[in-house]
Structure 1
C-alpha cells in the first residue's frame, strides 16, 4: 500500500476476500473512505487506522474480524460512518471510542460479542442519527444520556442484557422513527411519552419484563408497528394485542426482581460469602454454580462461575449468552445478567446469573441416593404425575428451541442435571454452554454445522451419529430427550452398570414393551398406584383392576415415546413436536379418567 500514497478511497465491498486487513493501511494519509464490508476478512481491526486523520467512512461489517474495537479510532476526528456489525468482535465499547469523537452520524456495532456497559459518554454524540448495538452481550442500564442524542432516527438496543427501566430522558428523542428494546431484561412500565413521538414508525418492546398498562395512543394504536409480546405482566392496550384487562390492585406477593445491578465481581463475592463452599450447589463441565443472596431485595439467585482454565470455557460462556439472550420461554432457565471482569488477583472472571430454582435438578430427584437432597424437606422421589408433567415441560422447551425461535437452536447437552425445577416443580431446561444455532436454508430447512468442532455432549445422552462426525441437528436433541424419558420412568441411568456392550437402556426398554412394562419401570411408581398391595391381594376389585390396566397402558405409551425418540437410526425418530403432542395426549387421557393428582 505504500506504493499508493495518494489513495483516497478503497472499495472492495461484497467480494470473497479473506485474510487480514494490512496494518500498512495506516500509511495512506489521504485515505478518507474504506469499504470492505461483506467479505471473509479475519484478524483484528488494525490500530493503525487511527493514523487516518481524514477518514470519514469505515465499513467493515459482515466479515470474520475479531479482537477489540481499537480505541485509536477516537483519533479520527472526521469519522462520520462506522459500521463493524456482523463480526466476532469482543471486549467493551470504550469511553475513548465515544467521547473523543462526537462526529458519528451512523454507528453500527451490532451482532458481535461486546460486553460491559454502554458508556454514559454516548450522550456526547450530538450528531448521531443511526445507532445499533443489537445482538451483543451488553448489560447494565440504558444510559439516560442517550436522551441528548436528539437527532437520532434509528435506535436498536435489542438482544442484550440491559436491565432497569426505560429512562425518562429518552422522551427528548422526538424525531425517532425506529426504536427497538426487545429481548432484554427491562422492567417497569411502558413510558407514556412514547405515545407522543410523531415520527415513530416501528416500536419493539417484546420479550422483556415490562408490566402494567399498555398505552393506547400514538404508535400504540397500530398493532402492526408495535410489538409488546413476551411481557407476561402487561395488560390493557388495543384488542389486537390480546392482553388481559388491567386490574388495579396491589399484590402482597413479592416477585423476583429483574432489575439486578449485580454485575461486578465484588458484588458477586459478597452475595456468595466469598464463593463459600457452603453456597456451592453444583459443578459442571466448565464451572461451578453457587447460591447467592442480594442484600437489597433479599432475592436468591444462582451464579455460574466459569472455570476459564478449562479449554472451551470462554467459548461456552459466549455460546450460553448468545443462546439465552435470544430466547424467552416458560420452560427455559431465565438468565438475569452476565458478569465479565477481573477477580481480586487480576485474573479474568466470567459468570452468568440465573433465577434460582428452589427444587434443584431433575438428577437429584431421580437419583437421590447419589446426591445431597435433604430428605427431611423433599420427598424421596417424584410422583407419576410430576414425572409426566416435567417430561412435557422439557418437550415444550425443545419444541420452542427447534421450531419457534427465529434461528433454530440445538441444545446439545440435554440430561437430568440440566433440567431444573422451580417451586411449583415446573421443569426448566438450562445450561446452554454447548448450544448451537442452525440458520435456516432454502434447500433443507437447516444449515449444516459440524459437530467435530467440540460438541460432545454427555456420554449416554449423545446420539450415536455425533460420534461419527454428523453435523449438529435437532434430531440429536430428540435422541437425548428419548433417553431422558426412559430414565425418568425406569429410574435407570443410561450409563448404569447393567448396560455395556450391545446392551443399553433403549434395547432394555424396547424388549420389555408392552408385556413386561411393569417389570422395568421405577418400582416407586408401582407402589404409588397401589400395585404393590394389588399383586399380593387375591381379591382384586373391579376398580383396582381398571386402575392397574390404565396405569400399565399409560406407561407403555410413555415409554413407547421414549423408544421412538431414541432410536439409533435418526430417520426412525419422532420430531419433537410429535413427541410433545403424544405426551400431552397421554396426560389428557389420564386427566379425563381422573388418574392424575
Structure 2
C-alpha cells in the first residue's frame, strides 16, 4: 500500500484563492527574516548558541537577547552598517559563567571579541580559528583551561591576543608564530610550560609581551631581540635561568622591563642605560645578577620605578640620579654595594636632590660604608619611606634629616651612627615608624621625639643612651608592640607617678615589684596578655587615682583592698575573667567610676549592674536586725545623696555643650519602633549582619519621616559591646559624610527580653555595595560618582582620625557600610569602632574585627577582594598594583569609563585613573606605616575631581 500523499485540489476558485493567500504569508515571513538578519541567520544562531551555554547572568545582560530586538541591538553587540553582521561582541566584567560555544566561530565578520573578567570555563574552542577578520581577542581573567588552540593561527589579522589570568596549560605551539600582525600577547598568570619558544621572535610586530606568572622554565631566547618595536617585556616568576641575551638590550623602545623573581644570572652591560633610554619601569629583583649596577642607568631619564633588590650586585653605587627627575621608587636592598678602598659609599645621595617626586628609597642590607652626607636633607619632601638599615654607616646623623617632613618610615639601625640623636628629628611629625636601634647613639633621648605623635613603633635599643625617658614621649599615644615581662628593677622608680603600658604584648603574671612604686597615681596596663591574680603587693598603691587593667586575662576575685583606696577615681576591670562578688563600697559605690564589662562570672554589686545574685555559702547565720542598720546608715545615706546631686548638677552646668547635644536625641520606645516597622516585618528588612538586622520604618514622632532601625541581636556574642561601641562613637561625632543618627532605644520587648536598637536617617540610594555588586541595580556608578564617593569617605575618615576631640578608628569600613543619599556618601556602622584614649571599644575578645578581604581598589575595579580570581598569591591589591601605570584601564570596572571626545581629554582621564588606582594601592599595602596618610588621600582625590570636572 502506497503512503498517502498531499493533494491540492484546484477545481474550486475559493481554494485557489486560499492557496495564494498562504503562499503570500510564507513569502512575507521569509522577507521579514531576511530583512531582520541581513539574509543570513548565521550570526543570529551563533549568538543564541553563545547564550545557551551561559549558566549564570547576574546582571541580566543577556535579557535583551530575544526575538523582540534585532540582534544588532542586543547588549554588547555591534554590527557593521552595511551588511548588519556582528563585528564586535563586548561583554567584559558581567559576571557571566558557563562555557564558550564553538558556534562563535561562525561570526565570520567579527573583529573584536571581549569577554574579559568573567567566569568562563572549559576549553577555548578551536573554532575561533575561523575568525579570519578578528583583530582583538580578550579572554583575560576567566577560568579557561586546556591548551591554547593551535588553529588560532587562522586569525591572520589578530593584533591583540589576551589570555592572561586563566588556567591554560601546555606549551606555546609553533602555529602561534604565524600571527604576523600580533602587537599584544598577554598570556600571564596561567600554567604554561615548555619555556618561551624561540620562534616567537618571528612576530616582528610585537609591542607588548606579558607572560609573567607561568612556570615556563628555560632560557630567554636570543631571537626575541627581533622585536624591534617592543615596549613592554614582562616575564616575572617564570623560572627562567641563564643570562639575559644581549639582543634584549638592543630593544631601544622598551618602556617596561620586568623579569623579577627568576633565576637569571650574569651581569648587565655597562652601556645598559644608553641602549634602553626610554625605560620607565625597570624591575629585575629576586634574581642572581652580579657585577656592577651600571652607572649608565643615569641616562634613563624617563625612569620612574627602579627595583633591583635581592641580587648580588657589587661595587660602588655610582648612578647619577640627577637626570631621573620622574623617579618615585628606588629599591636596591639586599645587594653588596661597598666600594673597595673607598672612604664613602654614600656620595650618590648628593645626586638625588633633583628627584622631587621620590617617595621611596630602600637601601636595606647593602653593605654600604661611610658617612651619611648633609645632603640627605635635600631629598624630596614627598619622601615617605627611607630605609638605610643593616649597613655600616658611621659618624653623626645629620640634623638635616629633619627636612624630610613627608617621612612616615625611617629605619637607620643597625649601623654605627654615634653622637646625639638630633633634636630636628622632632620635625618629622608624619613619622609612624622610627628605627634607631643597634647604633652608638649617646646622650639623652631628645624631648623632641614627643612631637612624633603618630608614632606606632619606636626602636632605641642597643645604644648608649642615658638620662631620663622624656615625659613628652607620653604624647606618642599610638606606640605599641612591647613584649617580654616588666623588669623587677621597676621597683627602683620610687618617684614614678604615671605608667602607661597599654596595648602591647606583655604576658604572664605582673611582677609584685610594681607594688613598690608607691608614688604612682595612674597605672594603665590594658590591652596586654597579663594573667593570674592581682598581686597583693598592689595594696601599697593607695595613692592611685586611675587603675586600668582591662583587656587582659586576669582571674580570681576582686581584691578587697581596692575598696579601701579613697583616692581612686576610676577603675577599669573590664574584659578579664574575674569571679565572685562585686563590692558595693568605695569606688564600687559609684557605677560611673568603675567598669566590669566582659567578666561573665561576677555577681552581686549595685543593682544598676544587673548582675545575678551571689549564691549563699556555708551555714545560714542568724538574721541581723536590719532596722538598726537602717537607723545608723539613713542619715549618712541622705548626706551622700545630697552630695551626689550637687556634684551632678555642677557637672551639668560645667558642660553645657554636651548636655545640649544629648538633648537633640528624641526618646523612642520599643512599641514605637515596632509600629514604625510594621512589627519588624521581613518586607521592611533592608539589611542583615552578624550582630543586627536593619529595617526601614516611618516614625510618627518625626513627621512620618523614613528611618532605618538597626535592631541588635543581643543573643549574638559581641552584640552588646557593638551597641555600646556605636553609642559611644555617635556621642562624639557629627559630620556631613557620616550617617546621621536620630536616637537609640534601650528597653525590653513585650516578653521581657532586653531590646536595643539604633535609629538612623534613611538613605534612599542604598549602599556602595549595592551599586557595585547587586544585580538589582541596572545602572552603574560612573567615574565621577565613584571618585566623589571615595573623596567623601576619605573626608569622613580624616574627620574621625584627625579632627575629632577623641580619635576614632572605624574598624569595619566596607562598601555595604557606605550609604548614599543623592549620591553623597555617608559612612555608617560604628559597631566595631575604637575610641583611642578611652577605655571603650578597643580590640575585642570576640575575634578578628572587620570584614576579611576589603581593600581600597574595590570601588574602581568593581571586583570583590574575595573574588575567586584572587588566589595563589594574587590579591586585589596586587591585581591593581601590577596594572600600574600602563594597564590601569584593563583593571577599571567597564561601567566607570566614559570615552572622551578628544584624544587630549582621553589622556587626562587615563592619568586620573592611574592616580586613583595608585591611591588605592598605597592605602592597601600590608604594612600600616607605609599607607598613605588620609589627609593626603583627601587632597589627591579632590585634585583628581577638579581635573575630571574641567574636562
TM-score category, normalised to shorter length: 0.5 to 0.7
Counterpart CA distance in 2 for 1:45 and 1:59 is 19
Q: Deviations over 1:57-84 (max 9, x none)?
A: 9678754445874379x9753457xxxx
Q: Which residue of 2 aligns with 1:459?
A: 852
Q: Which residue of 2 aligns with 1:383?
A: 782
1:129 corresponds to 2:527: no
Alignment of 1:113-124 (within 5 A): none
C-alpha RMSD of the superposition = 3.7
1:77 to 618, 629, 634: 634
Structure 1 residues 261, 44: closer, same or farther in 2, change over 3 A?
farther
Structure 1 residues 557, 23: closer, same or farther in 2, change over 3 A?
closer
2:811 to 412, 416, 434: 412
Q: Deviations over 1:466-500 (max 9, x none)?
A: xxxxxxxxxxxxxxxxx23x111111111112111
Q: Which residue of 2 aligns with 1:167?
A: none
Considering Cα pairs closer than 8 Å and 6+ residues apart, tell me whether 1 or 2 has the greater RCO.
Answer: 1
Question: What is the Cα deviation at residue 554 of structure 1?
Answer: 0.5
In the alignment, is the contact (CA less than 8 A) between 1:411 and 1:436 conserved in 2? Answer: yes
Q: Which residue of 2 aligns with 1:476?
A: none
Q: Which residue of 1 aligns with 2:295?
A: none
Question: What is the Cα deviation at residue 278 of structure 1?
Answer: 0.7
Determine helix, strand or coil for the equivalent of 1:104: helix
Counterpart CA distance in 2 for 1:56 and 1:410 is 30
Q: Which residue of 2 aligns with 1:14?
A: 544
1:552 to 889, 900, 910: 910
Alignment of 1:534-553 (within 5 A): 544-553=902-911
Alignment of 1:34-433 (within 5 A): 36-38=568-570, 62-65=593-596, 69-70=606-607, 76-79=633-636, 104-107=641-644, 128-131=645-648, 152=649, 154-156=650-652, 179-182=656-659, 184-187=661-664, 260-262=666-668, 264-296=669-701, 297-369=703-775, 372-373=776-777, 375=778, 380-422=779-821, 424-433=822-831
1:529 to 874, 899, 906: 899
In the alignment, is the contact (CA less than 8 A) between 2:861 and 2:893 conserved in 1? Answer: yes
Counterpart CA distance in 1 for 2:793 and 2:673 is 30
In the alignment, is the contact (CA less than 8 A) between 1:11 and 1:34 conserved in 2? Answer: no
Question: What is the Cα deviation at residue 571 of structure 1?
Answer: 3.2
Q: Deviations over 1:481-535 (max 9, x none)?
A: xx23x11111111111211120111111111111111111111122x335xxxxx
In the alignment, is the contact (CA less than 8 A) between 1:306 and 1:313 conserved in 2? Answer: yes
Counterpart CA distance in 2 for 1:320 and 1:266 is 22
Larger mean Cα displacement after TM superposition, 39-48 or 288-297? 39-48
In the alignment, is the contact (CA less than 8 A) between 2:667 and 2:744 conserved in 1? Answer: no
Structure 1 residues 71, 102: closer, same or farther in 2, change over 3 A?
farther
Counterpart CA distance in 2 for 1:508 and 1:277 is 39
1:496 to 854, 863, 867: 867
Structure 1 residues 504, 183: closer, same or farther in 2, change over 3 A?
farther
Determine helix, strand or coil for the equivalent of 1:382: coil
Indicate the structure (1 or 2) with the bigger Cα radius of gyration.
2
Structure 1 residues 60, 390: closer, same or farther in 2, change over 3 A?
closer
Q: Which residue of 2 aligns with 1:207?
A: none
Question: What is the Cα deviation at residue 572 of structure 1?
Answer: 2.3
Structure 1 residues 60, 414: closer, same or farther in 2, change over 3 A?
closer
Q: Which residue of 2 aligns with 1:582?
A: 940
1:509 corresponds to 2:880: yes
Unaligned runs of 5+ in 1: 1-9, 26-30, 81-100, 108-127, 132-151, 157-175, 188-258, 441-445, 462-482, 531-542
Structure 1 residues 283, 386: closer, same or farther in 2, change over 3 A?
same
Structure 1 residues 68, 287: closer, same or farther in 2, change over 3 A?
farther
The TM-score with structure 2 as length reference comes to: 0.36
In the alignment, is the contact (CA less than 8 A) between 1:398 and 1:576 conserved in 2? Answer: yes
In the alignment, is the contact (CA less than 8 A) between 1:564 and 1:572 conserved in 2? Answer: yes
Structure 1 residues 68, 383: closer, same or farther in 2, change over 3 A?
farther
Determine helix, strand or coil for the equivalent of 1:106: helix
In the alignment, is the contact (CA less than 8 A) between 2:589 and 2:606 conserved in 1? Answer: no
Q: Which residue of 2 aligns with 1:563?
A: 921
Counterpart CA distance in 2 for 1:41 and 1:566 is 35
In the alignment, is the contact (CA less than 8 A) between 1:13 and 1:39 conserved in 2? Answer: no
In the alignment, is the contact (CA less than 8 A) between 2:570 and 2:593 conserved in 1? Answer: yes
Q: Deviations over 1:97-134 (max 9, x none)?
A: xxxx5853432xxxxxxxxxxxxxxxxxxxx4220xxx
Aligned length: 373
In the alignment, is the contact (CA less than 8 A) between 1:361 and 1:418 conserved in 2? Answer: yes
Structure 1 residues 79, 13: closer, same or farther in 2, change over 3 A?
farther
In the alignment, is the contact (CA less than 8 A) between 1:338 and 1:352 conserved in 2? Answer: yes
Determine helix, strand or coil for the equivalent of 2:663: strand
In the alignment, is the contact (CA less than 8 A) between 2:568 and 2:587 conserved in 1? Answer: no
Q: Deviations over 1:523-558 (max 9, x none)?
A: 1122x335xxxxxxxxxxxx5111211111100000
Counterpart CA distance in 1 for 2:697 and 2:605 is 32
Counterpart CA distance in 1 for 2:845 and 2:580 is 29
Counterpart CA distance in 1 for 2:741 and 2:542 is 40
Determine helix, strand or coil for the equivalent of 1:181: helix
Question: What is the Cα deviation at residue 393 of structure 1?
Answer: 0.6
Structure 1 residues 68, 392: closer, same or farther in 2, change over 3 A?
farther
Question: What is the Cα deviation at residue 41 of structure 1?
Answer: 6.0
Q: Which residue of 1 aligns with 2:837?
A: 439
Question: What is the Cα deviation at residue 587 of structure 1?
Answer: 1.4
Question: What is the Cα deviation at residue 569 of structure 1?
Answer: 2.7
Determine helix, strand or coil for the equivalent of 1:266: helix
Q: Which residue of 2 aligns with 1:146?
A: none
Question: What is the Cα deviation at residue 452 of structure 1?
Answer: 6.1
In the alignment, is the contact (CA less than 8 A) between 2:591 and 2:608 conserved in 1? Answer: no
Unaligned runs of 5+ in 2: 1-539, 550-556, 598-603, 610-628
Counterpart CA distance in 2 for 1:78 and 1:357 is 55
Structure 1 residues 342, 21: closer, same or farther in 2, change over 3 A?
farther
In the alignment, is the contact (CA less than 8 A) between 1:281 and 1:289 conserved in 2? Answer: yes
